[in-house]
Chains A and B, each alone.
Chain A
Amino acid sequence: MTKHTMVLALAASLMASTALAGDVRMMWYSDGVEGEVMKDLVARFKAENPGINLILDEVAYKVVQEQLQIQLEAGQGPDIARVTNIKTLAPHWLDLTPHLADPAYWRTNFGAHADWMRVDGSDAITGFMTQLTLTGGFANATLFEQAGVALPGKGATWDDWVNASAEVAKSQGTAAAFAIDRSGHRMTGPNVSYGANYIGADGKPAPVDAGTKAFAEKLVGWVAGGQMLKDTWVAASGSTYRAAADDFINAQIPFYYSGSWQIANLSTKIGDGFDWVATGSPCGTAGCSGLAGGAALVAVKYTANPTEVAKVMEFFAREEIVKEFSERTLFLPAHAGVAAKGGLNWQTADKNVGAALDVFVAASADILPAAAALPAWKWASPVYGALVNRISQVMAGELKLDEAFAKIDSDIAEQVAAAK
């Protein structure tokens, strides 16, 4: 026995002793109240299944985003995790199919998003979306009313929205007309609305096309012209995420482009401060597309207890559990049955919430194919990263637009080459 194998054996025995039979560990991050809701549900699961010791490890999102991958590549990690980076990490997910009592239920109700969380060409069932998200806009209806400006209606373009908001901003003296979160993901829906398609014929990233260029040029112009809040994008570098939600909450911008996940946040923090409405995505030349996404609960293939893991997953994928979870967290459900039946009884007294959720549900019909393909495309994240990194440099006056486009192409090409 060499030293090396001894160390390995020792490590293996130590690890084996920590993973007791029947233990299932679930790694969970929270944006809002979902951790508390989950705690309730976990308690209910344990009462129903006394033999399975389900442990909820609540972590920072940073752990899921940056450290989970390290653990997974070492063949470790939790048994189940709530993850957003589901496509890139797909090789680590467990195929639940042989362990499920009713795989057909999963294919019917969660089949639409199954490709988001499995490797290309596979038909595995690896988990389900805990919630769907869709990017879209929010307008401060009260500010619009005070300014005497009508809210742009359906089919209004980005220019319409920005001009109307600018008028409101001018009359009400707000800091700017609108803001988009600092994120490549957030500007992708608008890009696609102007005809962009990131995916090349070979499935690899295509060079920056006319659609992306069109919207990027507008966006840069709006920052230079003062319509778009400058700090959101300029006061950070790299792919750092910055949200402009607080400015919308403070009525500093009449229009805010973010996504459905903000609803609960806006509701708590705005309260009765003003009326706000969801607007869906403004239109471009090709359509009025947002970008879908969300977080999934997936099983990890390094688990020692796949049967128990499947039991846990089956519990949380139940129709009534999904319904309750969505109602309490104000998340859009990904369960086809729940979504089709509708009639969700949102657990809130805020009248703005239900209306906003309905708008997002309706807006999901407007997603263009080029945007619909992105969540299941494994090169999406380097493209988002390069976009936000370089375009904010243009806004800061460090680059010209064409230089930025050239840099975006070369950044992405390098990342794709480096990932081989």
Chain B
Amino acid sequence: MAQVGAWVGAVITAPLRGFARLLDVPLRVWQRLAGQNGMAAFFLLPNMAIFGIFVLFPLGLNIAYSLTSGGALFLADRNFAGLGQYQRLLTCADYTNLLSCQEDQFWTALGNTALFVVVQVTALIVLATATALILNRELRARSFWRAVFFFPVLLSPVVVGLIWRWILDRNGVLNAGLVAVGLDPVNWLLDRNFAFAAAVGVTIWAHLGFFALILLAGLQAIPRDLYEAAEMDGTRPARVFWRITLPLLMPNMLVVIVLALIRAVQVFDEAFVLTGGGPGTATLFLTQYIYEVGFASLLKNPGLAAAASILMGGVLVVLTLLQLALGRRNERKAKLK
């Protein structure tokens, strides 16, 4: 299998290698003409061009949308409204009473999302680290075990939500199990705390393998002799974890934290299919709010949806900057060593 793999890999990469060789000569000329900065520009160009057209530009347009009102979907047909949409989102007659807010469900969604991010990311990282540590042990059939935990990542989010809804539903498998052992069925998804926990659990279920894999790659890159030395010194395992494993895992951990945060803030498909935002509004998250306002309802309000997304994006950018600053401090520390 591995040999076949190497062979297929070689076949795929052969034309690419030829292509790369062809590119070398003109690029040497370019390098001489434009210098290091020119080369940096060359490497960045393809990605940034696509990125600019299909990500940045729409984002810019999105800001423009947030300043307009009306039901029309295309910018040219919309009316300028200044900061009216932001005002509507943020205005409350009485800031101690959520209900008095013009868009009370925006605030509910904001609160739910914040709580979700904190709980889900923490739990996810702890579980992913534990899984990675265990998968890094000397196990028989390690690739099988890795596949076990990775498997749900292969499912589309909608399918994930559905599977679990069929399990947790009043008519679901879990209740069938309870009935079979003589207990009363429980209406799981009608319990606010349980529904919230289910949203957290299912999103962890779906993404655990993704993050554990990244951490595992980091663990495997840690030189073995470090551990051997520690063992010789008789260092306790917990201390080894905190002093050797975790610091050396930091680059991968940073990737995991940032990506987990982003995924958590954007939580939508799995949770939406599972709980539909209920019971009541207990699991109504920001993305669902935006989706409802901007797309799902028959009278769409793209301006309000855009404003909400930009507020959300703003919070996220601040979070990321914090993360990056942290990462840079670590980088510098690593360099000093």
Contact = CB atoms under 8 A, between A and B. Distances in A.
CB atoms of A and B under 8 A apart anywhere in the complex? yes
B327 interface: no
Interface string A376-420: 000001100100010011011111000100010010001100111
Contact of A231 (B70, B187, B289, B303): B187
A242 B276 contact: yes
Given A237-B283, A240-B276, A240-B277, A231 B189 contact: yes
A415 B77 CA distance: 18
A176 to B, nearest CB: 10
Interface in A111-139: none
A373 B144 CA distance: 62
Contact of B280 (A234, A250, A410, A418): A234
A231 B280 contact: no
Contacts of B220: none
B70 A418 contact: yes
Interface string A233-253: 011111110100011001010
Most B CB within 10 A of own CB, among A69, A235, A419: A235
A367 B100 CA distance: 38
Contacts of B72: 73
A419 B279 contact: no
Interface in B264-315: 272, 275-284, 288-289, 292, 295-301, 303-304
A305 interface: no
Interface in A247-288: 247, 250, 252
Contact of B278 (A65, A237, A250, A399): A237
B171 A252 contact: yes
Contacts of B292: 238-239
Contacts of A398: 280-281
A381 B295 CA distance: 13
Nearest to A412: B299
Contacts of B74: 73-74
B99 interface: yes
A396 B297 contact: no
B190 A88 contact: no
Most B CB within 10 A of own CB, among A66, A88, A237: A237
Contacts of A348: none
Contacts of B295: 66
Interface residues of B, number: 43
A393 B281 contact: yes
A246 B272 CA distance: 20
A73 B73 contact: yes
Interface in A44-96: 65-66, 69-70, 73-74, 85, 88
A415 B276 contact: no
A359 to B, nearest CB: 28
A230 interface: yes
Interface in B45-81: 69-74, 77, 79
A246 B104 CA distance: 33
B106 to A, nearest CB: 12
Contacts of A382: 297-299
Contacts, number: 115
Given A88-B299, A231-B189, A238-B288, A419 B70 contact: yes
A175 interface: yes
B71 A237 contact: no
A69 B72 CA distance: 10
B170 interface: yes
Contacts of B187: 230-231
Contacts of A407: 99, 104
A198 B261 CA distance: 44
Given A252-B171, A407-B104, A234 B279 contact: yes
Nearest to A87: B298
Nearest to A404: B99
Nearest to B304: A418
B102 interface: yes
A213 B113 CA distance: 33
Contacts of A403: 99
B283 to A, nearest CB: 7
Nearest to B275: A235
Contacts of A392: 278, 280
Contact of B299 (A175, A234, A252, A381): A381
A303 to B, nearest CB: 20
Contacts of A239: 292, 296-297
Contacts of A420: 69-71, 79
A308 B102 CA distance: 49
Contacts of B303: 418
A65 B291 CA distance: 13
16 contacts: A70-B73, A85-B298, A230-B187, A234-B190, A234-B279, A234-B280, A236-B278, A238-B105, A238-B292, A239-B296, A240-B277, A381-B299, A382-B298, A403-B99, A415-B297, A419-B301
Given A65-B298, A235-B278, 5 more contacts: A381-B298, A389-B105, A397-B280, A419-B71, A420-B71
The 9 closest A-B pairs by CB, nearest first: A396-B280, A236-B276, A237-B277, A381-B298, A419-B71, A236-B278, A398-B280, A235-B278, A240-B276
